[in-house]
């Protein structure tokens, strides 16, 4: 069944949804995005994603084209019309279409707003959560404002392919001797019962799942240290894991061919995954 997608105020069958070839998202990656997961037909952490979206737009001097209430309404309608029980909603906002020019167009240029859904039945029961992921490291060659969620995703995409060529599932990117994050997730290790993850800054995306997981970990009396860690520290850690809106909490069991501890998902990652999914289901809108 063709999906209904949202483009600039209209709900259309996917084959009828179009945007301009002059769109700056297409020509300059002049666009921001969000991915919100859907569990049991309801949106996980809508407010967190809406807040980060507003920040990304503001950092790029773009207006917020839709109020939070209007955005929630659009997301809910797409979820219902497309019968999404478990899955994702993708949102992209660009600076709009204009003659190709590095300078931003007139501020009155209408922005492009696109939303679509992807159904992922059993999203919370991903088999990878039972086996864990293998990661391969690579240099972090992205730009310096990784805290803004832009659609410039070519380097992470290349890094993921390079990792796959090495027989791994994903890449962890490394800068100045420390892990920044995964290609599409935040990275963590556990050493002596302490959860370690890089502190917020312009070097990483401020994960919405990261914020929720760290809050839940602290509420469960776990100790969290926000600081950089090296690949060697990660390889000799008791556990490693990643977080993202679509993977929730996902154990990492191998780094550059070296097993982490006994090479199986660790108890902290498994517990945090359980708590996060349970709490997200309860609070979903
Ligand atoms: N880091 C990067 C580079 C990402 O692309 C993502 C997912 N979009 C994340 C971290 C995780 O963020 P979130 O928990 O908000 O999905």
Percent of the chain with pLDDT over 90: 100
**How far is the C-alpha of 158 from the C-alpha of 109, rounded, in Å?**
32
The secondary structure of 249-268, three-state, reads EEEEEEECCEECCCCCCCHH
| pLDDT, the chain, mean | 97
Ligand 1 centroid, distance to 213 Cα (angstroms): 13
**How far is the C-alpha of 62 from the C-alpha of 78, rounded, in Å?**
25
Which is the closest atom of ligand 1 to the Cα of 210?
14
Percent of the chain with pLDDT over 70: 100
Helix orientation angle between 68-81 and 46-59, rounded to the nearest 10 degrees: 120
Q: Evaluate if pTM is beyond 0.75.
A: yes
Note the pLDDT tens digit of each residue in 221-252: 999 999 999 999 999 999 999 999 999 999 99
- Model confidence at 1, pLDDT cuts 50, 70, 90, reads confident
Active site members = 149
**How far is the C-alpha of 27 from the C-alpha of 21, rounded, in Å?**
8
Which is the closest atom of ligand 1 to the Cα of 49?
15
Which is the closest atom of ligand 1 to the Cα of 183?
3
Pocket flag, ligand 1, residue 205 (CB < 6 Å) = yes
pLDDT of residue 201: 98
Nearest CA, atom 9, ligand 1: 185
- Sheet order of strands, 10-13 included: 10-13, 4-7, 112-119, 87-94, 31-39, 42-43
> Above 80 in pLDDT, residue 275?
yes
Nearest CA, atom 12, ligand 1: 207
Q: Are 173 and 203 in contact (CB under 8 A)?
A: no
Note the pLDDT tens digit of each residue in 166-206: 999 999 999 999 999 999 999 999 999 999 999 999 999 99
Pocket flag, ligand 1, residue 210 (CB < 6 Å) = yes
């Amino acid at each position: 069944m063709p999906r209904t997608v949202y483009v600039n105020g209209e709900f259309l069958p996917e084959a009828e949804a179009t945007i301009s070839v002059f769109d700056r998202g297409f020509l300059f990656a002049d666009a921001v995005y969000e991915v919100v997961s859907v569990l049991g037909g309801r949106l996980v952490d809508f407010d967190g994603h809406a807040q980060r979206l507003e920040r990304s737009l503001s950092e790029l001097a773009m207006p917020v084209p839709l109020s939070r209430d209007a955005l929630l309404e659009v997301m809910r309608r797409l979820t219902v019309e497309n019968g999404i029980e478990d899955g994702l909603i993708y949102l992209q906002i660009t600076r709009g279409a204009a003659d190709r020019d590095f300078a931003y167009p007139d501020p009155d240029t209408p922005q492009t707003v696109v939303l679509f859904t992807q159904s992922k039945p059993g999203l919370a029961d991903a088999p990878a959560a039972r086996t864990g992921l293998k990661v391969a490291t690579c240099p972090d060659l992205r730009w310096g404002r990784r805290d803004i969620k832009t659609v410039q995703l070519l380097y992470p995409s290349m890094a993921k392919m390079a990792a796959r060529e090495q027989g791994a599932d994903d890449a962890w990117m490394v800068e100045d001797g420390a892990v920044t994050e995964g290609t599409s997730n935040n990275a963590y290790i556990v050493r002596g019962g302490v959860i370690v993850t890089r502190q917020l800054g312009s070097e990483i995306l401020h994960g919405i799942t990261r914020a929720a997981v760290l809050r839940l970990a602290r509420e469960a009396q776990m100790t969290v240290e926000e600081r950089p860690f090296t690949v060697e520290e990660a390889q000799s850690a008791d556990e490693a894991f990643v977080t993202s809106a679509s993977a929730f909490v996902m154990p990492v069991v191998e780094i550059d061919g070296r097993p982490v501890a006994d090479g199986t998902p660790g108890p902290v990652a498994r517990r945090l995954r359980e708590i996060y999914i349970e709490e997200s289901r309860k609070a979903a809108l």
